[in-house]
Structure 1
Amino acid sequence: MRKFTIALDAMGGDFGPHISLSASSKSLQLHPNLFITIVGDAQQITPLLKKYQLLNHNRIKFVHAPETISMEDDPVSVLRHRSQSSMLVALQLVAKGEADACVSAGNTGALMLLAKHTLKTLEGISRPALVSALPNNRGGHSYLMDLGANLQCGCDTLFNFALMGSVLCEQVEQLSAPSVSLLNVGRESNKGNDTIKQCAEMLSATEFINYIGYIEANELFDGRADVVVTDGFSGNIALKSYEGMGRVFFERLQQAINTTWYSRLLGKVLNPIIKNQLKNLHPDLYNGASLIGLRGIVVKSHGSANESASFYAIEQAIKEIQWQIPACISARLESVLAERDCLSHE
């Protein structure tokens, strides 16, 4: 069984490094071939390593990084002036081959800029994209991208997102020719802006993507499309809407169960059934957006992630390591670039 290492930016996120360390402890118990390098400020991290019995763990390494990036920091300023930040040091470990993946819950803009600067993008890719799996009503997952890394996208960028998302879904979900859609304001071919229409033409013309047309936001979870592509502005709104509605649903359900003595009694009977049916819908299970298109694996955990959600971000990184996602995307890109070259000479 091959050993692999994840560099964990312990200083990112809203709740401090204890979330990352607690999730790390759980991951290490589940994966005997996993090694974790904790990156962060020694003054804050050392007491927590003792608390979670990780200080002398034979599969834990600690790297001191005294600087922290806040959610309000400007990404360009971070790139220029935070050479010892925990986020950058964790990414550098991946670039140097000392880690197989980086997981961070820090500033999204800073993570994308630092990752692009440190790891570089794959040939043919100008911008990395944030992608995450969402549950659908067929019992599987649909991958939505971009989730906020690129607020404005041209048709070439959206085409590359579709290609990368298709490869990711194909490998992780073990699907042959996953279906790909563009998020739009309607299914009709005359709907949408010029960028969407041009991208649709490009997707329809390639044999390397199973493009099935447009999809509307109310169809995101019906399972018709395995991969849904949009710009980061629309994608981020769609994702946050799902997360917010999911939490409202679970909270309202709990409130309804606790309203009267009769509902509480009924709840005791139905709770196991409800929990079993809804366990795969909880937003925590889908924490961990992949920053794909890079020459290394980077997973963005939600800033407000709890221990459970942080654990699933680490799990996502492990899946991508096992399936060697950057190499798979690179191989598919070569085929697409060759296809375009042939068409340009006809």
Structure 2
Amino acid sequence: MNIGLDIMGGDFAPLEAVKGLHLFMNEHVSPANFVLFGDEEKVRPLLEQFNLNAPNISVVHAPQVIEMNEHPTKALKEKQQSSIAVGFYALAKGKIDAFISAGNTGAMLVGAMYSIKAIEGILRPTISTIIPKQDGTAGLLLDVGLNADCKPEHLNQFAILGSLYSKYILGIENPKVGLVNIGEEEGKGNILAQGTYPLLKENNQINFVGNIEGRDIFIDKADVMVCEGFTGNVILKMAESFYEITHQKGIRHEYLEQFNFENYGGTPVLGVSKPVIIGHGISHAKAFMNMIKLAAKMIDSNFLDKMQESFKS
């Protein structure tokens, strides 16, 4: 298992990325090899500082960094020695099995789409987010921003991808799928929702339970919640604000603590042929550690093979 890490990606990199690797190494006896992409002059001293000179950790020199405000496609073309570009080259060539970055989200998405491609049969890859449920379980919401405009066929595939992820990564045996809508009854909603409902209802690869409303997002009505990226991103940002506001006001509760994104690390791009995990730009060590955990789990579970098998037909 070879896990690639963009050591320069994120507002607090490379320090927090190295600290995250250090946390992972301290907690796990892992057979994984780690390939770090970044500026050797900045990375090597940190590896020395945290005693990370193990034989299973190597550094690939990538002197350039794609900044957060740069245009993704243009930056990838012009900065071919950037940590993201070099990392995707290694992923495409099979030198690493997964690639992680908390850097420029757009560049990560473009790299995933054009370096390793979508799995055959998948119309559009998607990104998801974990939604903490009131009962302590975790739901999955997708899409949350990659596909702002969708067709019913896209949402139907998102439901399959979300079900597979919930089963093999989150450990939910028969995940319930709900369509995010403005009413529970069949026939409610806009043209997209009305067109999607019958596809989900007839899809024998999922456990469809019907429409869910905004009030159902945080309760155990559905494990996989499907919508287009515009709605999903609004829900995601609203959920993130719960944690920020309660912490600003000094409110502490075990349920609200679950809204801390660092507990989940990052989100995988579902539908591409190799694991690509995107972290929040403000990720600290805990988030990097959890992104590494997720990458290892995706590789160990053969999740990509199961996804390819589901879309063969």
Specify the TM-score bucket, using the shorter chain as the normaliser.
Answer: over 0.9
CA–CA separation in structure 2 for the residues paired with 1:318 and 1:295: 15
Quote the residue 2:302 is aligned against: 324
| Cα displacement string for residues 71-125 of structure 1 (whole angstroms, at most 9, x for unaligned residues) | 1111221232222221122122222222221111112221111111111110111
Q: Could you tell me which residue of structure 2 aligns to residue 264 of structure 1?
A: none
Letter in 1 for 2:43: I
What is the TM-score normalised by the length of structure 2? 0.93
1:246 to 2:224 alignment: no
Code of the aligned partner of 1:315: K
1:35 corresponds in structure 2 to 33
Q: 2:65 aligns with which of 68, 79, 89?
A: 68
In the TM superposition, residue 26 of structure 1 has moved relative to its aligned partner by 1.0
> Higher helix proportion, which one?
1
Q: Which residues of 2 match residues 240-279 of structure 1 at below 5 A? A: 240-254=237-251
**What is the rounded CA distance, in whole Å, between the counterparts of 1:294 and 1:283 in structure 2?**
23
Match for residue 110 of structure 1? 107
Deviations 1:144-164 (A, max 9, x none): 111212221111111111111
The answer to whether the Cα contact below 8 Å between 2:36 and 2:60 also exists between their aligned partners in 1 is yes
Q: Distance in 2 between matches of 1:248 and 1:85?
A: 36
Counterpart in the other structure of 2:7: 10
Task: Pick which of 148-157 and 291-300 moved more.
Answer: 148-157
Matched, 1:232 2:210: no
Match for residue 344 of structure 1? none
Q: Distance in 2 between matches of 1:283 and 1:120?
A: 27
Q: For 1:78, which of 65, 75, 80 is the aligned residue?
A: 75
Work out which of the residue numbers 127, 130, 147 in structure 2 matches 1:130: 127
Alignment partner for residue 194 of structure 2, among 187, 192, 197? 197
Task: Give aligned-pair identity as a percent.
Answer: 32
1:139-150 map, 5 Å: 139-150=136-147
- Aligned-partner Cα distance in 1 for 2:104–2:261: 20
Runs of 4+ aligned residues of structure 1 deviating over 4 Å after TM superposition are 277-281
Q: Superposition pairs for residues 80-99 of structure 1, below 5 Å?
A: 80-99=77-96
For the aligned residue pairs, the C-alpha RMSD in angstroms reads: 1.8
Q: Matched residues in 2 for 1:70 and 1:333: separation?
A: 35
Confirm or deny: 8 A CA contact 2:242 2:256 kept in the other structure. no
1:280 offset after TM fit, Å?
4.2
Q: Taking structure 1 as the reference length, what is the TM-score of the superposition?
A: 0.85
What's the CA shift string for 1:166-202, capped at 9, x where partnerless?
1111112333331111212222323222122111111
Deviations 1:190-223 (A, max 9, x none): 3222122111111111211111111122221102
Q: Which amino acid aligns with 1:53?
A: N
Q: In 2, distance between residues paired with 1:177 and 1:110?
A: 34
The match for 1:282 is: 260
* 1: CA distance, partners of 2:105 / 2:228: 15
Answer with 1 or 2: which has the greater Rg.
1
Mark the CA change 1:118 to 1:177 in structure 2 (over 3 Å): closer, same or farther: same
Which of structures 1 and 2 has the larger relative contact order (alpha carbons within 8 angstroms, sep 6+)?
2
